[in-house]
Structure 1
Amino acid sequence: MFSIAICEDEIYLLEELRKKTEAYLKTRHFPAEIHTFTSGEDLLKEQRPFDLILLDLVLPGINGLEAAKRLSYSSRIIIITSYREYAVDAFEVDAVHFLLKPVTEERLYQAMDRAVNRSGQADDRSLALVKSGNTHILPIRDILYCEVFDHRVCIHTAGDDYEYSGTLDMLEKKLDGRFFRCHRSYLINMSCVAAQEKGTAMVSNGDRVLISRRKQSEFMQRLLDHLKNEVI
């Protein structure tokens, strides 16, 4: 059964989120179990996979961002906070959405719909890649960035690197709108951008990707557009 975790230290807000989530599930006729936590430590102690986590960023002890980084399993995460400036932090844990408090029923339902349906066609696309003689099916969403290195195209994920037999131009046509050609030698997944400095972007695993001078303005616009779509 689909499992949802809600982590919020303010008890009245936790209860409010639980009730709204239950109402959402009833409205959508979607069966799921809900588990509640008041701290990042309690969430981590559970040591069980959740399909979706509604996670407050400001928590006592381990904050929400650190808790998300320490999770030993992959979950869809909706970040909840009172501070708009934390939107960029959501990229560090590949959060699917970012909600500002107070969380209205309408905005929560929008976020839940889009998070629950994230396994739709666009997110299910994959590439077949060969590594050490074995074929690997790699979900496109797992790609952090792609680069031309030593006349080879290398695809980087959080867990491994893969070699692509075609050109970067050919690979670009196989990817979707999340990817941006920020340099003649790089394609970057805008959903995985954790930070940006002049001339480079850092992705969620800490690697840095070059941004060409003529692409910097367009890169910033793409990043702002992506953030705007995530903050609802």
Structure 2
Amino acid sequence: MIRILMLEDEEPAAKRLQKLLKETGEETEVLAVLDSIAAARKWLQQNPPPDLMLVDIHLADGNSLQLFKEMSIPSPLIFTTAYDEYALQAFKLNSIDYLLKPVKKEELYQALDKFKRQKSKEQPALNITKLLEAMQQPAADRYRDRFVIRYGEHIKTIETKDAAYFYTEARANFMVTADGKRFVIDFNLDQLEQMLNPKLFFRINRQFIVALQAIDEMTAWTKARVLIKLKPPSKHETIVSTERSPEFKKWLAGE
């Protein structure tokens, strides 16, 4: 039995991980699902170390790496994150496994298998300094360069610079490219916000993330909002929400 502590602040992601753990066929027990550094700190102080920890990078109250700076935690770690593989080479250097969201059952199974094979070996010390350096790399290295798109039996890559906007509709997530093509993608808007360079992309509301290059026209709207006309056009009305409008105007100015 593998006793697992899960640090994850997104309830759907936590439920999905627990479901996938059962589907792997491994004997696992999730001891707790914690959504913050504070909750994790308290749990670890009051309980024996788990056999394994599944750890999201971003928790409700900050970066989970802070926890490992504060405490000596002997448990092996598998990170689950929306950061792409280029920003995570330091994780590999420390023999720490990671799963890119959305986590796939096959990858989780392989990570658990790796954990079991390494269980009898001495675990390397967690090099927090190196991990934090990876998280703070220049934007050119840290943000996603391309997306792998699957449609039917076909697979293709699309450069991030060719994306005009991303949006969600009927619980599905889409990318629209500058030439007007639409593709289903595996990431939700919260995950995409972590992957995209904030100098080039902005989340205008709960439904849309737009590229600066895709903005064709802007019109002042009611309640301090901004109506945007996109290129290529969107069938949905694209309005910057009242809450996002001040930040949007700063973003336009390059602040």
- The TM tier, using the shorter chain, reads 0.3 to 0.5
Give the TM-score taking structure 1 as reference length.
Answer: 0.47
Larger Cα Rg: Structure 1 or Structure 2?
A: 2
The structure with the greater share of residues assigned to helix is: 1
Name the structure, 1 or 2, with higher relative contact order (CA <8 Å, separation 6+).
1
TM-score normalized with structure 2 length: 0.43
